[in-house]
Structure 1
Amino acid sequence: MACWMYEGMLMFGVVFLAGYLFSTLSQTRHALDNRHLLQAFLFVVFGIYFVWFWAKGQTLAMKTWNIRVVDRKGQAITQRRALLRYVASWLWFLPPLGVSWGMGLPAAQGGVLALGWVAIWAILARFHPQGQFWHDALAGTRLITWVAPERSKRAKTPSPPKGGGRSSA
């Protein structure tokens, strides 16, 4: 969950840049104008962000916490599987958002419903045989602890000069 919170902080920058780009290109003058188009645009931007990094194995937050996403065999995932994981990960949010919208709930009640659903969805991972989240099970992925191997470092000490170090003229 700490990785998830850190990812959210990093996504703030992505949202800021994407929102600025969208509002500049669409000439949006008021925050509520083109709201649904902005949400669709952010959905696509988030998809590109996560699919790109998951197909490479890790997002920046996952690197920080030594987490890597792999398939069931422990291999790197394809972009198709990363896209499936991205779409399935929306199960964390879409059910309460859909119910909240369908019932016309005020924002505060919708927020409580969303937080309750996220807690329930997280607890449901305890019932999975491997203890993984259900969007990972649906996508055929899993999270592992992974530390990048150390790169061989060449010594940066200068080699001694040939001939004893002094030249005689």
Structure 2
Amino acid sequence: MTDSNQPSAAPSPSATSTTGSAQTPGLMRRMACWLYEGMLLFGVLFIAGYLFSTLTQQRHALTGRHALMAFLFLVLGIYFTWFWSKGQTLAMKTWHIRVTDLRGQALTQARALLRYLLSWSWFLPPLALIAPFHLGAGETSVLMIGWILVWALLARFHPRRQFWHDVLAGTQLVDARPRTTRHD
């Protein structure tokens, strides 16, 4: 039996909105959040890389690099799956963006993991072209930045302006700014 004086574990109002009423944050705000996330991930990946190199007693940067990449992929997967199933990463909290399923509910761990795997579409197409064509750093940068811009702009073709990896994962980014009362 539950105590009626205790607050229920119901999701927040922004997490319970329906698909029709949930507002998608603007593209510039989502991309600013994306860049901020990248800056925060630098620290996560630095610590994970240091831990890996310490535990494996790595003496040279190229020794075991495939194992390191697999370990960092796993670390990122855990990071994003955990935070997305809670609704927001730190960057998303800062930019007042929440990730939900299409009914406005919190993501399950499985759906968050699916979103993580599909989110690699931001990077995999240009990365797949780098090795076979032996592209240099300049070409790689242009290709990567160009693809990221194209992928971001493709959201303009979705009726609710969602990113396509969210569409495929059955997730959505919604505005999580606190509602204020206007006195017009």
TM band (smaller chain): 0.7 to 0.9
TM-score by length of 2: 0.78
Q: Distance in 2 between matches of 1:111 and 1:37?
A: 24
The one-letter code matched in structure 2 to 1:61 is A
Cα distance, 1:105 vs structure 2: 1.3
* 1:138 counterpart residue number: 168
Q: Distance in 1 between matches of 2:178 and 2:50?
A: 35
The size of the alignment, in residue pairs, is 149
Cα distance, 1:57 vs structure 2: 0.5
Q: Distance in 1 between matches of 2:173 and 2:122?
A: 17
Is 1:79 matched up with 2:116? no
* 1:3 counterpart residue number: 33
Q: CA RMSD in A?
A: 1.2
Is 1:116 matched up with 2:155? no
Q: Distance in 2 between matches of 1:46 and 1:66?
A: 21
1:85-142: per-residue Cα shift (whole Å, max 9, x none)?
Answer: 0000000100100011122212221121111111111111111121110010010000
Is 1:18 matched up with 2:32? no
Q: Distance in 1 between matches of 2:150 and 2:32?
A: 18
Cα distance, 1:26 vs structure 2: 0.7
TM-score by length of 1: 0.85
Q: Distance in 1 between matches of 2:138 and 2:73?
A: 23
Is 1:58 matched up with 2:62? no
More contact order relative to length (CA 8 Å, sep ≥ 6): 2
15-24 vs 96-105, which moves further:
96-105
SS in 1 for 2:172: strand
* 2:7 counterpart residue number: none
Match of 1:41 among 58, 71, 95: 71
| Same amino acid, percent of matched pairs | 66
* 1:156 counterpart residue number: none
Is 1:103 matched up with 2:143? no
